[in-house]
Structure 1
Amino acid sequence: MKKLLKKSLVLFLALIFVVMSVLPVAASQATSYSYTLDDEGELVRTQDAYLPDRTITNLGLSDPEDMIIDDENNAYIVDTGNARVLVYNLDDEKVVTQIDKDTVGSKDFEGFNSPKGIFLTKSGEVYIADTGAKTVFRFKKVNETKYEFVRRYDRPTAPIFADTNYEPSKVAVDSGNNLYIVSEGVYAGIIQLANSGEFLGYFASNKSKLTPQQVFLKIIYTKEQEKNSTLLNTLPSTFSNVFVDAEGTAYSTCMGKGRDLLKKHSTNGTNLFKNVIASSDAFTDVIADSNGIIYASDSKGYIYVYTRDGELIFCLGEEAGNNDVSGLFSSLTTIAVDNNGNIWTADGKKGFIQSFTPTEYATTIYKALQEYENGDYTDALKDWNYVLRLNQMSVLAHNGVAKAYYNDEEYDKAMEHFEIAGNRSGYSDAFWEVRNKGIQKDLGAVLTVVIILIVLSIVIKLIDKKKVLRTKRKQLGTKLKELPVIGEIGYAFKCAKHPIDRYYDIRVGKNGSMIAATIIYVAFFAVYMIYQTGKGFIYQYTSVEDMDMGAVVVGFFAILILFIVCNFLVTSITDGDGTLKQVYMIPAYGIMPLMICMIVTTIMSYQLTYNESFILTVIMMIGGIWSIAVIFEGLSTVHDYDFKQTVVSLIITAVFMLIAAIVVLVVIIMWEQLYDFLITVGKEIIRNVTGS
């Protein structure tokens, strides 16, 4: 019996092993991570968007610089090192032909020198930018294997072109057959030529921006120093590539520091992207597919995918270095997309092309984006919700869900998802609709309440002809003012109205106290913290989690104490009459307008949209200017200064505060170094004593 059980168990385990060995195994083939943006605009890991598929290494490529794919999935690869353009069919996996001197067979075409860029028109014409030959070649497709040389676009002869460098590296052509040429070493913009070769001007020139350091150096440097200084290099970033889609929209990439390195242009060259948050300083190529999805590559090995509005969908990749890993690159030079939605790229150093297949996660996102563009909001909502099941924190998906709800007029749900996505602009639009509906619904009730209150006020005045109620109210107010601390705190309101007279009372000791001033300071700090962290979502950019509360508390009160002490010391040596106690009270009794405006702004931030932000700005400006004016008058009155003396004392106070801050910083650094030194010595002594 036992032997039978053992045999049965062995057979059962063997059967399980056999079945498991033939079952399909799902495993990620990704060799790099995919990233997207979180609600704070930071890159975070997400599901794999693309998986590396085919790596083609047997084409004999040498330094491939560019690639474009036609409607028949023929990849036109600019093989720079071999001075040719290779045409390779991605479906049949075979070389169709190549464009070079031998295959073209024209006496007017002597071959390529250093081809680097290519563009293919709808009519089948091929434009190739040749840096070494300093020209752009144009070919016409005769049949599958034959291309006929049409003409070349040499250096423009227009006087305005002058001595501009003309070494075409990339080229694109619009529906009117106008050429957009990226030339090496040209900072003025993309060279634009007519089909005839006439110079039309520069398209989409970049602007240089001075850094604060450069602005300071320009102020203090002489003209001679400016000429010789490398720090004052104000040349704009150069264009690295250009592309024109089927609709005639131009896209461009730039290399270098700064923003706006990926652009989508209007017909006059203006950048249509407001702000591309995630981009690269080493973009090499850009294309857009028929659905408006934008793909860009950079030399570091990263692929970026954006919506038609410039919102990052995801990026993937990393540098391979000297490792041969599928999907990683030593130098990613170009990017293209075939008819099946696969991404194709080329490694310029190692001479191979690589494809990436989109995952279900990526294809669902593309499908949802297209459905939304087509107005199919219900289908888009379903797909976005499916994406959220794959990635609950997808900002792109929450934005998509919110937009779908918004267009279906479900504004409350739209607000919820816009908030999760951190999309304040979308939230503001949805909130405006909700508020508008609320006003229309409750306006009658609000007006009724207002009318009732007005009528009650009139009735009370008629009944209270002898002003008994008014007298009792005044008596209650007087009793409250007579309470030691409350009355002294309330005195701050009087200072805001009549600063000269009220600060004079503080000067002669009639009003004000240290306790009341301290309470006001603590209250102001509490209001300040609420203002910083408690505004409505539209206006709240700072979260409590991101704040170093200890540093905020120490910084706030340190600056306050530093001002009080430094001002007292300065005024003591400049014949100021104020005592340390009075100087301590001056700011406290002057900040009430700003405190009130902070409270009002915080409350109103829950009821105002983006378009009404100027109201909050005006309120804060009024509060700030009012408080500064009151404190200024307080200093002038208490110290018995005129306007000029008060200004001078404040300037000297600011200088003293700066010096004191530097001294404190130096002392802290020295103490840290001394502490580290003592710890090191202590450890050395212990090591020598214990012998370990």
Structure 2
Amino acid sequence: MKRKLSALLLLIITCIVTGSEISYASTPYKTYTIDGYGYVTETQSAYMPDASITKVGEDALLSPSDMVVTEDGFIYIADTGSKKVLVSDLEGNYIRTIGEGELTAPTGIYVTKDKTLYVADKDGKKVVVFDEEGNKIQEYGKPDHPLYGESMDFKPQKLVVNKSGNMYIICEGNTNGIVQIAPTNGGTFIGYFGTNYTSVSLLEVFQRAIFTDEQKAKMLSKLPSTPTNLSIDESGLIYTVTQGDYQYTLKKLNIAGSNLIVPDAYDELPASVTTGAYDNIYVASQDGYIYEYNSDGELLFVFGGRDDGRGRIGLCDKVAAIGVDNESNLYLLDAEKKQVQIFKPTEFTNLLHESLFLYEKGRYTESKEPLTQVLEMNSLFDYANKAMCRAYLQEENYGEALKYARLAKDFDGYSDAFWEVRNQWIRDNLILSMGVLILVFACVQVLKRLQKKKGIFNPLQKKVRGFYDRLLVKQMVYSRYFMKHPVDGCYGVKREQKASYLCANLILLGVIILSIIGKYGCGFLLKTVRDGQYDLIGDAGTVIVIFLMLIACNYLMCTINEGEGTFKQLYCAYAYALTPYIFIKPIVILLSNVITYSEVFLVQLTNYIMISWIAVLLFIALKEINDYTIRSTIKILLLTIFTVLIAALLIFIIYILFTQVLEFVVTIAGEVVYRLET
């Protein structure tokens, strides 16, 4: 994800609070979210940098590795450098020290509700347990179970503990997964949990199939990544972050170890994860970016960033851990700066959290009031619009639900609301519609009888026949014959002059117009462009360029390979082959505006039929116009595709060279003007 950080003026105020060192600052970064189209967009500041804790009492942090913020308002910091755990209140005032003299290299900690402290001592190769007062009560070493692995070392880095006392431990170098240890019998190995998987490319599969054992031994081994950090929520769900695991960077694991979410945005270097009071998920990247998701992995905000050396509060050097208190204040442990940075939520975020909590619990109607306030602050915040849609759906106000679903690009909500609106319209207008159809049918029958007895339409029919006798109209009508009888149609184009450039261009114009209407006028559920954004010239140009490039490259290949067709014949035949688009695309557009998600397959099926029909017509046109065999036709098609790719590459290279030359000329001109002025 692109991260843009604003360079705003930073005001630092330093004040001394008893036993701690705290400084305050303004916002040195921008806040982003993802809209319904999947684009990153700027939004209001979600969190403000409020303070930084640089000391716990008189103890400066030497090499902090982990941090836990408890519900009752205490901060536990694992300081690997001083080989102890420091405890403070939320302002950084010293409470106590734990583990001094007992620990070798504390790198991970977890605090239970009864204030029991679990410490992952990596170099000590053990997990040490302390009570609230800091007294050592238990110690767990390497499991002696054969399934753990005799040669596998035990270097615990991070850990969490569930309500049953079972420990989930990330160990350095252990790619088998998260180690599960039960507290019974001095530590019982349960197994591995939430193992990451590796992906193998088709090239690697092929290499492994043909390589010798010696060659395979030289290949890089594909081992699963070890999770970087983990967290646990009130329900016992485990959250992990893994560096370099792409869309599986963040996982939400159930008791069986199955992942429940795939986030719509992720960072390549996640450092820590935690959960908030509203079922929201926070991920902090190593570079100081903070991601907030809802419980389904949908991104709410991303903000923060890496410090540029000016020591600005709100920006970090290297994040080690993230925590959150009951007021949704965020605490970010910076291992390089050796401090804890504190972020306070804005009014906008507090309202969103309130509505988020109600929305996630299914209390949609109650969530409307805070959502309304959120939308007053930012009417384009898609998540709030989506929640409003669901609230109105529950109230059976489907018209308003449609409105907010469209604003939020919430296709599921829109489909549900449209289903109800459509059903209501059918119920209200069914009898009237049937009456209109019967009336129309009766009128048609009456007019047929009048025509049969008195010929009232004879003058009109004469004019129509005269219109159809015109050459251009005959050629246009012939395109419909070509669509049904392509072999005979190609004979007419090649031998009987039943096509012209004008007719072919009119068909191509129709294709362009329908493609534009289909792009901007199709139903919301199938729309792929933003509402209100148009590029008509670009759309038309794309169709024309693609058509002409295909024609030119194909004609070149046909000429080289003794094809009989002229450029005009190929041009007209290929244009006629697009006729199914003229007849079927309007049906697709109409269908797209009256269907729900469960009926989208109708549009997809119709599109497949249309594209297949056009492909068959193009193949037959190439074969018949040039008098090729089927084998030769396939050969020419492949050569045409290759030639198009080469031509596209050549055009791209020329474009790059032209832009570079233009940039050079502009730079030289600017330099000349500057020197003349000075």
TM-score band by shorter chain is: 0.7 to 0.9
Cα 1:634–1:605 shift into 2, 3 Å: same
Equivalent pair of 2:78/2:109 in contact (CA under 8 Å): yes
Distance 1:31 1:680 in 2: 33
SS of aligned partner of 1:58: strand
- Aligned residue in 2 for 1:270: 258
Q: Distance between the aligned counterparts of 1:252 and 1:670, measured in 2?
A: 46
**Contact (CA 8 Å) 1:177, 1:194: kept in 2 or not?**
yes
State the 1:305 CA deviation: 1.9
User: C-alpha distance in 2, partners of 1:218/1:595?
Assistant: 50
Alignment of 1:108-123 (within 5 A): 111-123=102-114
Distance 1:416 1:544, change over 3 A: closer
Contact 1:134/1:155 (8 A) holds in 2: no
Larger deviation: 374-383 or 508-517?
A: 374-383
> Which residue among 557, 564, 570 is the counterpart of 2:557?
570
- Residue 583 of structure 1: how far off its partner (Å): 0.8
Within the alignment, does 1:309 sit opposite 2:282 as a pair?
Answer: no
The answer as to whether partners of 1:331 and 1:347 remain within 8 angstroms in 2 is yes
Return the alpha-carbon distance in structure 1 between the equivalents of residues 205 and 526 of structure 2.
Answer: 31
Give the letter for the 2:32 counterpart. Y
Q: Tell me the distance in 1 between the aligned counterparts of 2:521 and 2:370.
A: 35
Distance in 1 (CA, whole Å) between partners of 2:387 and 2:538 is 39
Residue 613 in structure 1 maps to residue 613 in structure 2 = no
SS at match of 1:313: strand
Provide the residue aligned with 2:5 in structure 1: none
Query: Matched residues in 2 for 1:227 and 1:499: separation?
Result: 58
Displacement of 1:626 after TM fit? 0.5
Match of 2:238 in 1: 250
| SS at structure 2 position matched to 1:117 | strand
- Cα distance change on mapping 1:669 and 1:357 into 2, 3 Å: closer
Tell me, in whole angstroms, the C-alpha distance in 2 between the residues paired with 1:188 and 1:676.
53
Q: Distance in 2 between matches of 1:137 and 1:540?
A: 57
Tell me the secondary structure at the aligned position of residue 247 of structure 2: coil
1:134 aligns with 2:134: no
Residue 325 of structure 1 aligns to a residue in which SS? coil
Larger CA deviation: 489-498 vs 321-330: 321-330
Name the CA shift for 1:632/1:245 in 2 (closer, same or farther; >3 Å). same
Q: For the residues of structure 1 that align with 2:72 and 2:275, how far apart are their CA atoms?
A: 17
Instruction: Please report how far the alpha carbon of residue 531 of structure 1 lies from its aligned counterpart in structure 2 after TM superposition.
Output: 2.1
- 1:203 alignment partner, one of 165, 177, 193: 193
What is the CA distance between 1:679 and its match in structure 2?
7.8
Deviates more, 1:583-592 or 1:475-484: 475-484
Q: Residue 636 of structure 1 contacts residue 643 of structure 1 at CA under 8 Å; is this kept in 2? A: yes
> Structure 1: which amino acid aligns with 2:30?
Y
Pair 160,137 (structure 1): closer, same or farther in 2 beyond 3 Å: closer
Do 1:136 and 1:154's aligned partners in 2 also have CA atoms closer than 8 Å? no
Match of 1:322 in 2: 309
Identity of aligned residues (%): 30
Give, in angstroms, the shift of residue 152 of structure 1: 0.6
Give the superposition deviation at 1:321. 4.0
Partner residue of 1:57? 54
2:125 is the alignment partner of 1:125 = no
Q: Conserved in 1, the CA contact under 8 Å of 2:143 and 2:188?
A: no
User: Is the partner of 1:259 in helix, strand or coil?
Assistant: helix
Q: How does 1:362-373 map to 2 (within 5 A)?
A: 362-373=349-360
Q: Deviation per CA, 1:182-240, whole angstroms, max 9, x where unpaired?
A: 2223344323333444444432333334579978998999887776566xx75554411
Sort the Cα spacing of 1:474 and 1:655 in 2 relative to 1 into closer, same or farther, 3 A: farther
- Matching of residue 167 in structure 1 with residue 155 in structure 2: yes
1:279 to 266, 275, 281: 266
Contact 1:246 1:290 in 2 (8 A): no
In structure 1, distance between residues paired with 2:641 and 2:73: 69
- Give per-residue Cα distances to partners, 1:436-488, cap 9 Å, x unaligned: 22222222222333333444455556666669589888766644432221221
CA distance in 2, matches of 1:674, 1:389: 49
Where does structure 2 lack aligned partners over 5 or more consecutive residues?
1-23
Q: Which residue of 2 aligns with 1:181?
A: 169
* 1:349 aligned to which of 323, 327, 336: 336
Q: Does 1:633 align with 2:620?
A: yes
Moved more, 539-548 or 198-207: 539-548
| Alpha-carbon spacing, 1:195–1:595, altered in 2? closer, same or farther (3 Å) | farther
Q: Structure 2 length as normaliser, TM-score?
A: 0.86
Q: Classify the secondary structure of the residue corresponding to 1:414.
A: helix
Distance (whole Å) between structure 2 residues aligned to residue 202 and residue 41 of structure 1 = 35
Task: Tell me, yes or no, if the aligned pair for 1:593 and 1:627 is still in contact at 8 Å.
Answer: yes
From 274, 288, 294, the counterpart of 2:275 = 288
Letter in 2 for 1:126: L
Larger mean CA deviation between 218-227 and 661-670 belongs to 218-227
- The amino acid of 2:169's aligned partner reads I
CA distance in 2, matches of 1:534, 1:39: 19
3-state DSSP of counterpart to 2:81 = helix
Q: Does 1:339 align with 2:340?
A: no
Cα offset, 1:619, TM superposition:
0.8
Between 663-672 and 174-183, the greater mean CA deviation after superposition: 663-672
| Comparing 490-499 and 338-347, the one that deviates more | 338-347
Look at both structures and tell me which one has the larger radius of gyration over its CA atoms. 1
Cα distance, 1:629 vs structure 2? 0.5
Counterpart contact for 1:32–1:318, Cα < 8 Å: yes
Q: CA deviation at 1:172?
A: 1.4
1:33 paired with 2:23, answer: no
Give the partner amino acid of 2:128: F
Q: For 1:398-547, list aligned pairs within 5 A.
A: 398-457=385-444, 478-543=465-530
Query: In structure 1, the residue corresponding to 2:624 is in which secondary structure?
Result: helix
Name the SS of the counterpart of 2:341 in structure 1.
strand
Could you tell me which amino acid in structure 2 is paired with residue 57 of structure 1? T
TM, length-normalised to structure 1: 0.84
Structure 1 residue 245, shift from structure 2 partner: 0.9
Could you tell me how far apart the structure 2 residues matched to 1:77 and 1:674 are?
Answer: 57
Report if aligned partners of 1:240, 1:285 keep a CA contact under 8 Å in 2. Answer: yes
Question: Of 391, 402, 406, which residue of structure 1 is paired with 2:378?
Answer: 391
Moved more, 504-513 or 670-679: 670-679
Q: Which moved more, 1:216-225 or 1:600-609?
A: 216-225
CA distance in 2, matches of 1:242, 1:669: 46
Paired residue for 1:90? Answer: 90
Q: Is the 8 A contact 1:293 1:307 kept in 2?
A: yes
Deviations for 1:33-53, whole angstroms, at most 9, x for unmatched residues? 333333433333333322233
The 2-side partners of 1:637 and 1:296 are apart by 62
Amino acid corresponding to residue 68 of structure 1 in structure 2:
V
Instruction: Assess, with a 3 A threshold, how the Cα gap between structure 1 residues 118 and 375 changes in structure 2: closer, same or farther.
Output: same
2:90 alignment partner AA: L
Matches of 1:392 and 1:544 in 2, distance apart? 15
Q: Contact 1:187–1:235 at 8 Å: present in 2 too?
A: yes
Check conservation: 2:288, 2:316, Cα contact below 8 A.
Answer: yes
Whole-Å separation in 1 of the counterparts to 2:425 and 2:153: 63
- 1:681 Cα shift? 8.6
Shift of 1:561: 2.1
* Deviation larger for 474-483 or 464-473: 464-473
1:195–1:575: structure 2 CA closer, same or farther, 3 Å change rule? same
Please list, as runs of the form range in 1=range in 2, the aligned pairs for 1:224-239 lying within 5 A after superposition.
228=218, 235-239=223-227
Cα 1:185/1:551, change in 2 over 3 Å: farther
Alpha-carbon contact 2:516-2:536 (below 8 Å) kept: no
Instruction: Report the RMSD for the aligned CA atoms in angstroms.
Output: 3.4
Q: Distance in 1 between matches of 2:266 and 2:164?
A: 31
Any unmatched runs of 5+ in structure 1?
Answer: 1-26, 103-110
Q: Using the alignment, how far apart are the partners of 1:224 and 1:538 within structure 2?
A: 54
Q: Secondary structure at the match of 1:239?
A: coil
1:564 Cα deviation from its structure 2 partner: 2.1
Q: Secondary structure at the match of 1:138?
A: strand
Q: Is the 8 A contact 1:35 1:315 kept in 2?
A: yes
1:73 aligns with 2:110: no
